[in-house]
Amino acid sequence: MRDFYAHSSPMPLDQADGLRRLFAGRRRHLLALAANPHVAFSGVVLDRLAAVLAGQGREVLVVDAGAASPLPHELAGVDLAACVETIAPRVSYLPARGLPLSYVDTRGSAAGFIDAALAAAPQAEVILMHADGVDLARLLKHRAVRPLLLGADHPESIKHAYANAKLLVQRCGLMSFDLLLAASPQSPRLSGIQASLGSCIENFMGAVLRSSALVDPACDPAAPADAALVALLAAQFTPTDPAGPRSLASAGPKARGPEPRSADPFFADANPNRPAYP
């Protein structure tokens, strides 16, 4: 994501300390985006999400912790605030590949990394956490969030999005998801993806795919955001939505959901009747 901005610089240590004091007690939210190695334009998706949120007047910290994300600064283990970069108005960035694993406690939770990110960027109202499904499963224990699944217009990416959903259902009991598709609006395969993925998530996990939005990698970054994307993000922040993200300060334990059914055929490549999307 840093490639989209030319002049990034670490946040001074004294400024971070002053911001902690200034924004103490501020209501903050977590958006969790499940990384997908089969999506070539994840940086564009992060950029577009951050731009939409910043355009709404929100201060955003993008925590980029996917397996293909940039490595963290060498100071990350000592002072995380020194590694936060301001890359655009209202948008900060933290390269964080591998960092969630270093925060795993004796119960397998990496929730301490979220707390550390909050302390490192106290001005941020939204933490946009981009991480692999296995790391999100550690990070989101006892968090009431609706994860964002990431996909493209080809089967391998949708299979991986499904696998991420399955992992989060099994380990965290999270039963509601949204879908972001990085693809051209002219793709002939878009119309069936949400229905097929949503059907598999519901039939084999008892979970729900709430909505989807398209991020066109070729779209002019200065163009108005897609209406579906704006609506999806608005729903994520709707306080009356019980499945939406609560304030990070008030997120409580999440009940474990039902285990996926054993007859899940999604990865059964020998099944000749398995549709292209899943």
Mean of the per-residue pLDDT values of the chain: 83
Q: In this structure, how many other beta carbons lie within 10 angstroms of the beta carbon of residue 8?
A: 14
Instruction: Match 């899940």 to its residue by tokens.
Output: 264
The reply to whether 198 falls in a domain is yes
Number of domains the chain is built from:
1
The reply to whether 244 falls in a domain is no
Closest of 151, 148, 115 to residue 131, by C-alpha: 148
Helix, strand, coil abundance in the chain, percent, nearest 5: 35, 15, 50
Q: pTM of the predicted model, to two decimals?
A: 0.81
Is 276 a domain residue? no
Separation in Å, CA 274 to CA 188, 194, 206: 19, 16, 19
User: Using CB atoms within 10 A of its CB, is residue 70 exposed (0-12), middle (13-18) or buried (19+)?
Assistant: middle
Q: Does 87 reside within a domain?
A: yes
Q: Is residue 231 part of a domain?
A: yes
- Per residue in 227-262, pLDDT (tens digit) is 999 999 999 998 644 444 444 543 433 344 444 444
DSSP 8-state class, residue 74: T
Does residue 4 lie in a domain region? no
What pLDDT, in 10s, does the model give residues 131-149? 999 999 999 988 999 999 9
Range of the domain at 44: 10-236
- Reply yes or no on whether the pLDDT at 24 is more than 70: no
- Is the residue at 138 inside a domain? yes
CATH code of residue 18: 3.40.50.300
Residue 253 forms part of a structural domain: no
Residue 127 backbone phi and psi in degrees, to 5: -105, 110
- A 10 A CB-CB count for 80 gives 21
